[in-house]
Amino acid sequence: MSWLKAKKIVVTGGAGFLGTYVVKKLEERGCNEIFIPRSEHYDLVEMEAVKRLYHEARPDIIIHLAAKVGGIGANMRNPGTFFYDNLMMGVQMMEQGRLFGLEKFVAIGTICAYPKFTPVPFKEGDLWNGYPEETNAPYGLAKKMLLVQSQAYRQQYGFNSIFLLPVNLYGPGDNFDLESSHVIPALIRKVVEAKERGERRIVAWGTGKVSREFLYVEDAAEGIILATEKYDKADPINLGAGFEISIRDLAELICELVGFSGEIEWDTSKPDGQPRRRLDTSKAKEEFGFEAKTDLREGLRRTIEWYMAHRKDWS
């Protein structure tokens, strides 16, 4: 059994999209002392709430998933909020963990931390070779500071903190609110609604020419738990599926899976975001044996089925 079984573990964001899968993976490993702080009781942007969390939960390990996130539109509307909230949550959680004597801190970064024109596939050593894509730079840089803090604290205090860089996630339980969702749930919702209304086209953002890599949320959760169990080094680690697909091909695949035969109109007045995204995932396999298992088509099928069963929640 995993050594995690004997630990008290706090999962910030544990009630969210990724967090619910991480908590399930912990439970499957026999962990029964898992604490999930809810935002209405612990506003992690506030230092006093963070101190109270440590005092009340008394954790051995923190898996810090809590974040203010959204798609390109949400990032463009809220750059200050995305920067401040993510920065303050991460900085304070790690600082109070150090003072508390925490055994391990698992920091979750973002692919948005990479420079806009990173050579493909993205290697961890490329993180500092340029400025992130402008539409999500405030968010990406706020999360990137967790890496700086993690390495600085390891150097000065011997604090055991690791930093993981997951690629774009998707899967059942995702956010399908068109005001804040990422590309896969947004496209699924648009296509499903167009089909049901008998419409002959949908409108998608950008040109469709940019590429993205997508990691099924359950695979991401497994990668995070494997790193928590087995990885204790300063270097950042990518978590991805190791492939890329153009947004145009992605939209067409979703149309096929939903059974929508209409046209896709590309609104080129909207931004594309970063030109390409695909991670080099070799270090994750080498360091803690992680490889993504879920095929994109199968993952999309499961996600569409989940949305169809829960779409009343998003109406």
Which residue, 168, 229, 216, 169, is CA-closest to 26? 229
C-alpha 150: how far from its chain's center?
18
CA distance 177 to 105: 31
Out of 21, 42, 54, 139, which one is annotated catalytic? 139
Q: 46-52 long-range CB contacts below 8 Å, 24 or more apart?
A: 47/92, 47/96, 50/92, 50/93, 50/96, 51/96
ω into 121 cis (within 30 of 0): yes
Which residue, 243, 233, 231, is CA-closest to 279? 243
Residues 6 or more apart whose CB falls under 8 angstroms from that of 170 comprise 182, 184, 185, 214, 215, 216, 217, 299, 300, 303
Per-residue tokens: 8 = 């008290």
| Contact between 33 and 7 (Cβ < 8 Å) | yes
Per-residue tokens: 185 = 């749930």
Whether 139 is catalytic is: yes
Cα 206–Cα 82–Cα 19 angle in degrees, nearest 5: 95
Per-residue tokens: 63 = 């898996």
Q: What is the C-alpha R_g of the chain?
A: 19
CA distance 9 to 257: 39
Residues 6 or more apart whose CB falls under 8 angstroms from that of 199 comprise 262
In the chain, count of helices (H) and strands (E)? Answer: 10, 12
Residues catalogued as catalytic: 139
